[in-house]
Structure 1
Amino acid sequence: MNNNVLVVVDMQVGVLAMPRYDRAGKAALINQLIDVADVVIFIQHAEGDMGVGSDLWQIIPELHQPEHAHYVTKTACDAFWNTTLDALLQRMGTRAFTVCGCATDYCVDTTIKVGASKGYAITVAADAHTTADRTYASAQELIGQHNEVWAGLSLPGNPIAVIPTATLLSAWRSPR
């Protein structure tokens, strides 16, 4: 069983073509998680100009891509909907994972809520997800608001943990 499974949502050239809050800082934090994770799963959205294999569909070049990383293509905000993600996690014997990526208020949020409803123990890297400013809220407000909602989500027996990257890295690096 892999203890530190990291799911990186939609950190793609086409998704990040739209300005996102603190892209460089978020990518740096995600790289720190990638470098310590036992398993990395990249989720890639395919839609319109971001067709599978296109330049826009690719993972942004500043992210590390470990040799044995897994890749799951999705066509909806939910990384579980009509994808291989659930089967992949089951094959690995994984019932818990950490989430980071883009966009906080769309694909990250939906994947967290659906995954938790499926019984996965989910940890959110509180400072390693991003989004864009929206009409009624800034990206920073959305990130903070979603962290608060996830931490307080009512899922009896399966609360979502929302933890800063530094704390996650410390736990992942400690002897098991």
Structure 2
Amino acid sequence: MPTRRVVMVVDMQNGVFATPRLNREACAARINALTQAADAVIFIQHADEEALPEGSEAFALLAELNQPEGAFYVTKSACDAFYNTSLDTLLREQNIDEFVICGCATDYCVDATIKNGVSRGYRITIADDAHTTADRPAAPAGVLIRHYNDVWRSFIAPANPPQVLPTQTILDAWRMNSPFPILS
């Protein structure tokens, strides 16, 4: 039986994008391509009483995102989507041990979730062109995205390193019902 195609989408919310993010439209389009090809989709949404109150327009997902019927939703209050949330329980209940991750912000919530997930034993593939962030005082968004893709490619986790692949490579492998290629 082929592995389920699972996509986790992190913090693609109106309030998060009140701060401009690099390549919003292209990122959202790639995320939509992934969610349309997936067997299961998990949307992670950050909640904050002041900036992103649950149920508010700021908390809502971007209007341009495809939200497939049967998608799962997990609310978090920290960068790490596993921290004090139902995510680990959901993944175990759904027998999900691997997923593709994408979303916002590369250098905060996406990164923290990847590292905690790998430590918990989940096999994670990062869609290297389907995550975004904002310019920061230390570096512009494009530099941060390239930097984190490189960090994840080199992340030392014996027997469970994350994979970093372009969205099209992921989609092609799914279409062919084949494992993701190992890129050096």
SS in 2 for 1:8: strand
User: Counterpart in 1 of 2:47?
Assistant: 46
- Taking the aligned partners of 1:32 and 1:135, their CA distance within structure 2 comes to 32
Q: What is the deviation of 1:175? A: 3.5
- Taking the aligned partners of 2:44 and 2:177, their CA distance within structure 1 comes to 29
SS in 2 for 1:107: helix
- Taking the aligned partners of 2:172 and 2:3, their CA distance within structure 1 comes to 17
Q: Deviations over 1:40-77 (max 9, x none)?
A: 00000001231111110000000000011000000000
Contact 1:2–1:38 (CA under 8 A) maintained in structure 2? no
User: Counterpart in 2 of 1:28?
Assistant: 29
Q: Deviations over 1:117-158 (max 9, x none)?
A: 001000000000000000111100000000000010110110
Structure 1 unmatched runs, 5+: none
- Pick which of 109-118 and 2-11 moved more: 2-11
User: Counterpart in 2 of 1:174?
Assistant: 176
Map 1:105-116; keep pairs closer than 5 Å. 105-116=107-118
TM (norm. structure 1) is 0.98
User: Counterpart in 2 of 1:160?
Assistant: 162
User: Counterpart in 2 of 1:151?
Assistant: 153
Opposite residue 59 of structure 2, the aligned amino acid is: W
- Taking the aligned partners of 1:4 and 1:146, their CA distance within structure 2 comes to 23
Contact 1:49–1:56 (CA under 8 A) maintained in structure 2? yes
Q: In angstroms, what is the RMSD of aligned CA positions?
A: 1.1
Structure 2 unmatched runs, 5+: 179-184
SS in 2 for 1:134: coil
Change (3 A) 1:2 1:75: farther
Over 6 Å off, 4+ runs: none
Opposite residue 141 of structure 1, the aligned amino acid is: V
Q: Is residue 4 of structure 1 aligned with residue 9 of structure 2? A: no
Opposite residue 165 of structure 1, the aligned amino acid is: T
- Taking the aligned partners of 1:2 and 1:43, their CA distance within structure 2 comes to 22
Q: What is the deviation of 1:3? A: 1.4
2:99 to 80, 97, 100: 97
Count of aligned positions: 176
